[in-house]
Amino acid sequence: MTSPEQAHDSATTAPGAANAPRVTVVGAGVAGLTCAHAFALRGARVTIVERNQGTGQGCSWFAGGMLAPWCERESAEPLVAELGFESLEYWRREVPDVPREGSLVLAPPRDLPDLRRFARRTEAFEWLDGPALAALEPDLAGRFDQGLFFPTEAHLEPRKALAALTGKLVAEHGVEIRFGCSVVDDESDPATDGADIVVDCRGLSARDRLADLRGVKGEMLVLFTREIALKRPVRMLHPRIPVYVVPRGDGHFMIGATSIENDQRGRVTGRSMLELLSAVYQLHPAFGEAEIVEIGADVRPAFPDNLPRIRKRGRTIFVNGFYRHGFLAAPALARRAAEVALDGAYFPEVMDEDRREW
């Protein structure tokens, strides 16, 4: 396996060279944009085809933007954390405003066993008592006796990060983006004509080609209040609905997220909002007085084991199955996808056994 630095150095075609491979990326979510970047960095001539009128307006639009590999270790496979470390460095290098303020994990006093269980399942954290918590987040002073602090984690604002990446692709790499263009079939669609490589990043829409892809609905809301300030994402453990709060600056907070096994894109239930709001009210009553700025939902694309995959079929490379980890894992998958397509590399951790030509 090659490191990101080696990959960057090896077999890179001069940008715009006559022999540069022509790559069409279908879908401009976090997967498509990071793949476009990975191929462009290798000198490919990249076109992105997107059915919407802007980038990042699918599932990626609703993400919290937590870059929290250690916290995710609590419930996800170790692979997710490994991909997360690489991706965290990518975002910090490539887009502005990726605060590395760490993450806090809290639980109401009656749920302290859950906090201990969370601690047992991960690492790279510090136990904090009440005064230490108050020093980090003064507005939470006196509300919690114990918490876990993961100092090396970071967060970003997904919509701003994808806009910055889009600007970079166009301005620095000459990537062409064709909006309002829906690709029906990667192999025969006129939009992919002339491409040497097609990278299919259609998220859940790729179910027509990836039969084991399923949808996991996530609902979120954005609140506005000047009554509380937070520097870093805070996760509140709760037996039924764990909730997180991601500060977005200027009094805005993203509250997420439900995780429901269905694919009803865009439908938000009163029950989910009640649960998210009551959990965040437990974190701080100021959220009870906050203005609701936005309510949203989308469907996360996931394979049965909730791990992302690269699959190759003919000239098409599928990069999909990001589940709850699109921002956490996409840059690491994108780098591998470029190596699979351009160097014939094989990455067993994200490619199914016996399915090199899937």
Ligand X SMILES: Cc1cc2nc3c(=O)[nH]c(=O)nc-3n(C[C@H](O)[C@H](O)[C@H](O)COP(=O)(O)OP(=O)(O)OC[C@H]3O[C@@H](n4cnc5c(N)ncnc54)[C@H](O)[C@@H]3O)c2cc1C
- Residue closest to 29 by CA, chosen among 53, 5, 55: 55
Residues 279-298 interacting with ligand X (rule: CB under 6 A): 298
Rank residues 20 and 327 by Cβ distance to ligand X and give the closer one. Answer: 327
User: Interface with ligand X includes 30 (CB under 6 A)?
Assistant: yes
How many residues interact with ligand X (rule CB under 6 A)? 41
Site string for ligand X, 252-281 (x = CB under 6 A): ----xx------------------------
Q: Which stretch binds ligand X (CB under 6 A): 47-55, 94-102, 140-148, 282-290?
A: 47-55
The radius of gyration computed from the CA coordinates of the chain, to the nearest angstrom, equals: 21
Eight-state DSSP code of residue 294 = E
- Residue closest to 235 by CA, chosen among 219, 221, 246: 246
Rank residues 20 and 255 by Cβ distance to ligand X and give the closer one. Answer: 255
Query: Smallest distance, Å, CB 155 to ligand X?
Result: 8
Place of tokens 């977005």: 248
- Residue closest to 85 by CA, chosen among 72, 96, 94: 72
Query: Smallest distance, Å, CB 204 to ligand X?
Result: 6
Distance from C-alpha of 156 to C-alpha of 116, rounded to nearest angstrom: 27
Site string for ligand X, 208-247 (x = CB under 6 A): ----------x-x---------------------------
Rank residues 22 and 116 by Cβ distance to ligand X and give the closer one. Answer: 22
Query: Smallest distance, Å, CB 340 to ligand X?
Result: 17
Options 21, 203, 242, 247; binder of ligand X; rule CB under 6 A:
203
Q: What is residue 139's three-state secondary structure?
A: helix
In contact, 200 and 320? CB cutoff 8 Å: yes
Q: Which stretch binds ligand X (CB under 6 A): 30-38, 140-148, 165-173, 223-231?
A: 30-38
Please give the order of strands across the beta sheet that includes 103-106. Answer: 126-129, 146-150, 103-106, 234-236, 243-249, 252-256, 214-224, 291-302
Query: Smallest distance, Å, CB 270 to ligand X?
Result: 17
In contact, 65 and 157? CB cutoff 8 Å: yes
User: Interface with ligand X includes 51 (CB under 6 A)?
Assistant: yes
Instruction: Tokens for 315, please give them.
Output: 């000239």
Parallel, antiparallel, or unpaired for β 146-150 and 126-129?
antiparallel
Q: Which residues bind ligand X (CB under 6 A)?
A: 26-32, 49-52, 57-60, 62-66, 182-183, 201-203, 205, 218, 220, 256-257, 298, 300-301, 320, 322-328
